[in-house]
Structures are given as C-alpha cells and as structure tokens.
Structure 1
Amino acid sequence: TVGEGEMGCITSSEDGARADGGAHAELATQPTSLSYVETRNGYPETLTPAQRATMAELRSQLAREGHAEGRWDDDHEMCRWLRARKFDIAATKLMILNHIRWEKEYDVDHVYRTFAHKDAAGVKAAYPRTYHRADRVGRPINIDRVGMLNIKRINELTNDDDMEREKIQDMEYTVRVRYPACSLAAGRTINQSLVIMDLSGLSFAIWNAQTRNMLKRLTSVLSDHYPETMGALFIVNAPSFFAAIWSVAKLVLDPGTVQKISILSSNYKTELFKHVEPHNLPTFLGGTDETFDFMREQGSWVVGTQPTQVPSAVRSEQVNVHLPDQRRPRWVCCAA
C-alpha cells in the first residue's frame, strides 16, 4: 500500500504495461504460499483459546434469544461478525441482532428472489462491475470500474433505493451461491472476495455529491450486513486528485479495513499477478483473458465455467458445502 506522499506518482495503465517488462511469465508460475492461511487472525483455524471461548459465549447468548439457526452454528460465519467488532461479545451481538431485524423488515429473501431493474443491461453499462473467476487462493474476484460510472445515466434509469436493492441481491447471491461454489472448487471454506477497483476515467465531475451519496449508501449495506466479506481491495489507475480523497477517507475507516486496501502505482500488474493468475484477469487489467464480459459472469458458480484450480498447498481443510437453490437473480447473465 502506498503512502499519502507517494500517491501523486500514480499514472495510467499504459505506463504500467511498459514498466513491468517480463514479469508476466515469471509471476504466472509463482507458487501460492500457505501464508494466506497461516497469518490470518480471527479465523477458525487460527483462533486463540480466548477467542474460541468468546465465540462459544456469543453463540450461547444468541441461542437463548431464539437465534440458534444453522448459520450461527458455523464457525466461519461467526468469525466474520466477531472480527468486525474486534471479538467484543456485546458489540457483535448487537450487530447480529440488528442484522436479523433488518433482514425481516427489509424482506431480504424477497428482494433476493424477485428484484430486477427495468433496464438491467442499461444499469450495468452505466456502472460496469461484475464477478469474474477466482484468485490464487480461490476467492471470487469482484471487478468494479467505478471510474466509468455514468451517474447521470444511472439517475435516468433507476434510483438510489433500487441500487441498494441490487447491492443486497448481489451480496445475497454471493453468500448463498458464489462462496459455496468457490469453497467446493478450492477445497476449503471461502467467504471473502478479492476486489479490484479500476479508477481510470474518474474525474471531479463524476465524483460529485450524488455519486458519493450513492456509494456511501452501498458501502453501508456491506459494512452493516455483510461484514468481513472483502478479503483485499486493490485500487488501480487512480488519478492524482485521489490522493486528497484517500487522505480523508482512511481517517474514518477501521484500521483493519485500511490494511486490506492497496493503492497500486503504475506497475500494478506485478502486484496483481501475485494474487491472481494472468489468465483470470481481463486484458484491460493486464491479464490475458479475452473472454471477459461485464454482462456475462464467469466462475465456478456459473454452469459451464471451468473452476479455478487452487494449488493443493492452500487446500487446508475438508469442506462439505451444500450448494443452495441456485435460482439466479434475473440480472445475472451466465456463460453458456
């Protein structure tokens, strides 16, 4: 992650293509390290005795209040919420109870099953983002080209309420379908994504109050109801003025979240290839995948897509995952 003083040197991807030279072939064959599993704190495989006791007590308190359903019996699920609140029982319990109440009040399952934009393709074209394949440890890759966001067109086609519903539907699809499918492909539990945010094209004209308010609302959905689902965030092609935005943003972000965010300089491909094999990245991010299409997801969760192979070194646990009903939201286009 670059510091504030270094961000002014961030330039375009064309400079990066010239800078990384022959790194492409070398990095494509790099073995995946076990460090991803070994160094994670607050995950089932690395819990301390005190953290395990905290999880057991929280589970007991939830059960006494009638919330003993399956997901709270899952250690990986519990750890996500506990990490979000630094293993504070009272704070985590409050967060979970608020989430359970929100699910009922918002009728999240109904949103997941039925929501659709009137012009889903138009909305996707005005704000290109999708999930595409998986990284070297099996996490689905979320590619977000927020720099190409056309907020005027978004406002013509939809509204902030429906954009929020789309985000909820997308995250429900992620936890119900994408993560279980990736877990089966990786041979261990996957419940986080790798996010690549491409800021090429971002300007002050785009970064107006409407854009900020919409993105803030979508981010709140993630932080309040889908905590710890971002495993890592790589920001590429940031314009020079983004340094000022980041200097303010990181002051209000949780330090743990800041540690997951890397703002990459012009030779960002070198870093991306450490985490994602080139053939799983689209060409506009320096990869070799020419089949990428924002309108058609590819991944182990899509019928007809070859699952990403994860090296046996990181297949650290036996996973018996039941894939839920895979009725896809209508906006999800599948590869044939």
Structure 2
Amino acid sequence: MTLKSGLVLAAILTLPTSVLADDPMKVGFVYVGPIGDHGWSYQHDQGRLALEDHFGEKVATTYVENVSEGADAERTIRRLAQAGNDIIFTTSFGFMNPTLRVAKEYPDITFLHATGYKRDENLGTYLSVTYEGRYATGVAAGLVTETDTLGYIASFPIPEVIRDINAVYLGAKEVNPDIELKVIWVNTWFDPAKEADAANALMDQGADVIVQHTDSPAPLIAADKRGAWGVGQASDMRGFGGDAHLLSVVNNWGPYYIDTVQSVMDGTWEPADYWGGMSEGTVEVVGLSERLSAEQQEKVNSVIDALTNDEFHPFTGPLKDQSGELRVPAGVSMTNEELAGMDWYVEGMTATLSK
C-alpha cells in the first residue's frame, strides 16, 4: 500500500458512520387537508410518523399539507419528484390524474395514490375498506336512534363516499327496518363551519345520529351541543364528542406505509391495488359508547368481530338499487372492482344521489 492510499483509507475510516451509510430513502407525502384536521390527513400523517419511528435514519420523510385537488396538486407532486424523493404517497381521490401524469415523467420513482383506480408500472393504488367500519356504524346508529332518522354529511359523490353511505344504511336497516338516512353534500373535505352547518341542518330535519365523510370534529361537537349522537371520522375523535360520541372509524396507515417502503427497499415492490380492511388492521372501530346497553354493545361487537374475521361482507346480495333493479344476486359478494365503481344507492334510500 502506498502512503497516499493509506492516508485515504485512514480518512475514510474516521468518517462518521452516517456518512459511510447509504443515503436514507426519501419519502414524500401530499395531503389534501391540514395535518391538524384530526381526521383524514391527520391520520395519514400519523402513518408517516410510524414510518419514521420504524425505520429511523433509513428514511427521510417530508410532507405538504392543504394541497388543492387539480393543478396545485400536480405542481406539488412534481416538486417532490424533482426534490429527489424515492417514493411519493398522494392521499386524496382528486390527486389521481395529477399523480398519473407526474409518474409517467419520473419512471424511476415509486408513486402510490390513495382511493384511486389508475395504475402504471411505477404507480400503485391503496385504500382503507372503510365501508366495513361504516356498516358497524350503521348497526350502532340503528340501535340508538329514537327518531329512526340518521344524518350523513357527504363530501364528494365519488365511489368511496357512496359505498360508505350505502354501508351505513344497510347496517342500520339490519337492526331497524324503519330507518331513514338523510344526506347533505358539502363538496369539501375540510371546512369546520360548513360541516357544523350541515350537522345542524340534518338535526333540524330530525336526525339524532350524525355520520360524516368530512374530516373535522365539528359535526361531532355540534351533535354534542344538541344532545344527539355523532361518529368520529378517520381518527379517534372521542375526545371531541363528549356524551355524543357513539364510536369512531379509524384509518391505521402505519403498517401499510411500513410494508410498502420495505418492499421498495427490497426491490420486490410491484404496482397493485391494495384494499386494507378490518382483518388487516387498516380499519378499526374504537370507542364504542358505554351509554349503549349491554345487549346493544354485544350486538355491535358481534358485527365488528364478524367483519374482522372476514365472516361477513356488507355488500352481499341480493342487493337492489333505488329503482328496484337487482344489482347483486343472492349469495354473491361484490368484487373490489365493482365496489370501486359504485355510483348507485341501495334500495330503500330516499336521498337523491348528487352527480
């Protein structure tokens, strides 16, 4: 060994371990709302934090919150790609086409889009099977309502939301044949004032249980003020609802994010459509109110157990739509592909489906 090469080797050996180690895998996240919404975006960010906790210095994450769906989303996703992120998770339905366009420009980056259906060689999709938790919600709501009227605050008329509305109605109908589910479309994911107004409007129409597909705890707080019931969305909202809190349907993204990043690290990742439900722990029903009777709690928990153990599929026929047309034959369960395109209300729903 020459003196020069020996000095170089000695210099390398004295470098900090962090310099010698491989660069961390850079992972970016795009959120439609603020991480303080205590709902959808908050829970995705909890998944990001779980990812950091699991991998430590092996990953470096970043996120952009409050990203509008459309041109703003495309600019944001492209900036994350240009910044050298190895994986980019985009977490709202309206990010689907922007994610696809940017993915085509950066074939060496892995993209994952939540709740969408368009995939490519470097683009996969993922969602939580929230309709399972919504079915359990419907059962609980059908048991506690005194007016036989439930209210649903709906964000946008996309299949994910329509599935969940139907699931709540089917669950409630199982235990209460006189149930009616009223729906107000607010065309936003996060707007506390608008969400509270919708909750109050539904209660004015007789609803004494408020379910939401929006992300702030405002509807739950409004329900508590008026002595009604409310349901937590995406995260555990029992801390906001007081006596109103019936239960929360929680999205647990950490395991999925950890498994996905690990597969990219291992070189085994392939584009796929991931549906994670209660059996995978991606969806959880938590905080069932102790105000329910022992018999009511037993009924709800039995439904939760059946869903968790894959003993029951909420969308199993016979199922008809509002017009009476048979959509799902007896004994047949809808496939993920069919559920991904759901654009109809089930028979018995009196609400008008927004287009």
Q: What's the TM-score bracket when you normalise by the shorter of the two chains?
A: under 0.3
Q: TM-score, normalised by structure 1?
A: 0.28
- TM-score, reference length from structure 2: 0.27
Higher relative contact order (CA 8 A, sep 6+): 1
- Structure 1 or 2: larger strand share? 2
Larger Rg: 2
